[in-house]
Amino acid sequence: MVSHKPEKGRAKRMPTRRPQKLSKDDLERMVEDATVDADGESEQVTGFYTMLENDLELPFKTVVLGAEVTVERLDLTDDRIVVVCQRGQKRQRLSILDLPLPDPPPKGWEWIEAYRHWAQ
């Protein structure tokens, strides 16, 4: 008889849902939507910030450098988008470009990918 129990000392792996990969055309359309009325890079970043504020579901949990954190909010500083992460009583800002996405990702994750595409 085959046992379906995890081996002792090993965590049971739950099936995960991978996010749909966005095509280059999808990303380009999203970049156009975010930057359509923008003059210059600063206004383009603000356009992405607005899209993220509207569509990214916060808070959500993810893992940064091996530690689980809660992504609490977005912030716009020096023409770049950052997230405010909390773990326990500590908070730290991290560029959204460097933020690892959880699996499954939060609603609105596509805008993070579109911003990364634009920033390349």
Q: What is the pLDDT of residues 51-67, one digit of tens each?
A: 999 999 999 999 999 99
| pTM for this predicted structure | 0.81
Strand-pair category, 90-95 with 60-64: unpaired
Average pLDDT for the chain: 87
Domain edges within the chain: 24-119
SS3 label, residue 91: strand
Residue scoring higher pLDDT (18 or 82): 82
What does the pLDDT read at residue 10?
Answer: 43
What is the DSSP secondary structure assignment for residue 107, as one 8-state letter? T
Query: Which pLDDT tens digit goes with each residue over 110-119?
Result: 999 999 999 9
**CB atoms inside a 10 Å sphere around CB 60:** 19
Pairing of strands 60-64, 67-77: antiparallel
